[in-house]
A and B are shown apart, each in its own frame.
Chain A
Amino acid sequence: MQEKNALNYDYSVAKCFTYATILFGIIGMLIGVVIAYQMAFPQLNYLAGEYGTYSRLRPLHTSGVIFGFLLSGIFATWYYVGQRVLKVSMAESKFLMVVGKLHFWIYMITILTAVVTLFMGISTSKEYAELEWPLDIAVVVLWVLWGISIFGLVGIRREKTLYISMWYYIATFLGVAMLYLFNNMEVPTYFVSGYGKWYHSVSMYAGTNDAMVQWWYGHNAVAFVFTVPIIAMIYYFLPKESGQPVFSYKLSLLSFWGLMFVYLWAGGHHLLFSTVPDWVQTMGSIFSVILILPSWGSAINMLLTMKGQWGQLKENPLVKFMVLASTFYMLSTLEGPIQAIKSVNALAHFTDWIPGHVHDGTLGWVGFMTMAALFHMAPRMYKRELYSKKLMESQFWVQTTGIVMYFSSMWIAGITQGMMWRATDQYGNLAYSFIDTVTVLIPYYALRATGGLLYLVGFFMFTYNMYKTMTASKAIASEPQNASPMAA
């Protein structure tokens, strides 16, 4: 502690998670593009026997991008941001370094095992919670390790106040811990009754109760994995990259508590018009609409942070990525509540509008923010300037075009589908059969898949840019204060 000059932040764990983010990003998004094309061209289902079917690949796509790409992105930024806003280095605690590395390796083993087992078709069949009980236990272990790392670093910090990003990282940790434990309560069938393989299980809840717990979990996975940690990122990276303090720190606190309270009650909107009690449905609807307020509170706070500094959008592609991310956050947090209104949901439920909504949030908000964060971290972690600004600009436009193609095609497809399902003739008979809607939707499926392909191409551009930054870019003498240095 006395030789302060020698002390530096230690990014070794952040770097490991950065590689994982890129690896799982490629796997998850590639599978996403394949299954999107399978919707448009069903014969693609038969390319690799049972391993290439839509039903086998879909959980791999969702788990790959959520628990592979995004979780490692969250961990990478945590091991970077955490040290900086607490003003303490991982190098100051051998214990925390060991915990961090253990966290990474247990994470890698768990997720790679998840990829293999899902390919083999081993699944609990619960959406976004497909992993069987042995893997669930591994997830708990790695989550506890992350918790030790968070609170350990907080314990030895120099900065007394926890910056707003820290609040959001801690909320991610606590929120997911609670949700994951409750939704994954399962009975291992072999050990209880002798049926099935040793790794098989069934949910501890049955019927409607299972559905309610599942969507309480499912929607809050969106909250605590797709939203809360991404807000943690933007509250750090946008001010830091642009050199502007957060527009209103008080608003960030208010939005935090608003989001924490309201989000947990909104999951019922996944079960509108189903067998769950009416009040649960109404509550889900109402809380979803209220959710606009804290969501827009954070998003507007970010946009206002750029007040008087909009010129930076022209000069700095990283700011552009983050501002677009924030704008997509506003779009999807307006769209979601609209879909949760009962009368709109009567049209939208089970249609392609729903995955359309999910993807403008994930591709626009989550994906852009995560990539921008890694771009910002790279010059500081590798002490080299970013390899190519031009490539970054092209990536931005290729991916933005991809997102627009994705969600606009799914809007049209979803509303067409919903209207056709509801259409009746003058006697009240249904006007169309299910296959009629499928035929009409095929062109939109092709458009959606191509939008996804563009996004994947952009991700490869990102990967190449990051790889060249790490290996071949010009070294920088000192750490940049704000705007990340980049070669033309």
Chain B
Amino acid sequence: MNMETIRELQAYGYIFLTVFLAIGLYAYIYHLYRAEKKGTRNYEKYADIALHDNIDDAPVEAISPLNKEKE
């Protein structure tokens, strides 16, 4: 493969990657807001994990029903 072809492939790769990453970034933002709007997840409540961190505080989201029973 000559240098010119390599450079051309690099340029296509570069454009593809840039577009892919830009879409990926906005899709992630969309995913975060959509999940909240649909009620599948409330990301902001996870901020409470730092604030209520005593060993006997109830977990924000307990790991299993078994642990939930114990509280």
Contacts and interface: CB of A to CB of B under 8 A. Distances in A.
Given A240-B50, A245-B51, A87 B44 contact: no
Measured as residues with beta carbon below 8 angstroms from the partner, the interface class of chain B is 20 to 34
Contacts of A87: 53, 55, 57, 59
A336 interface: no
Interface string B19-40: 0010001001100110010000
Nearest to B70: A1
Give the secondary structure class of B's interface. helix
A158 interface: yes
Interface in A117-164: 157-161, 163-164
A161 B53 contact: no
Contacts of B45: 249
B59 A158 contact: yes
A1 B56 CA distance: 11
B28 A254 contact: yes
Nearest to B7: A279
A249 B51 contact: no
B35 to A, nearest CB: 10
A250 B33 contact: yes
Interface string A79-93: 000001101010000
Interface string A222-248: 000000000000011001100101101
B2 interface: no
Measured as residues with beta carbon below 8 angstroms from the partner, the interface class of chain A is 35 or more
Contacts of A4: 55-56, 70
B36 to A, nearest CB: 8
Contact of A159 (B44, B47, B56, B60): B60
Nearest to A8: B55
A246 B43 CA distance: 11
A210 interface: no
A1 B54 CA distance: 15
A473 interface: no
A483 to B, nearest CB: 13
B50 A249 contact: no
Interface of B: 10, 21, 25, 28-29, 32-33, 36, 43-51, 53-57, 59-63, 67, 70
11 contacts: A1-B70, A4-B70, A87-B53, A87-B59, A161-B46, A164-B46, A239-B50, A240-B51, A250-B33, A253-B43, A254-B32
Given A159-B63, A240-B53, 20 more contacts: A1-B70, A7-B56, A85-B53, A89-B55, A157-B63, A159-B59, A159-B60, A159-B62, A161-B60, A163-B46, A163-B49, A164-B46, A236-B50, A245-B44, A249-B46, A250-B29, A253-B43, A254-B32, A257-B28, A482-B51
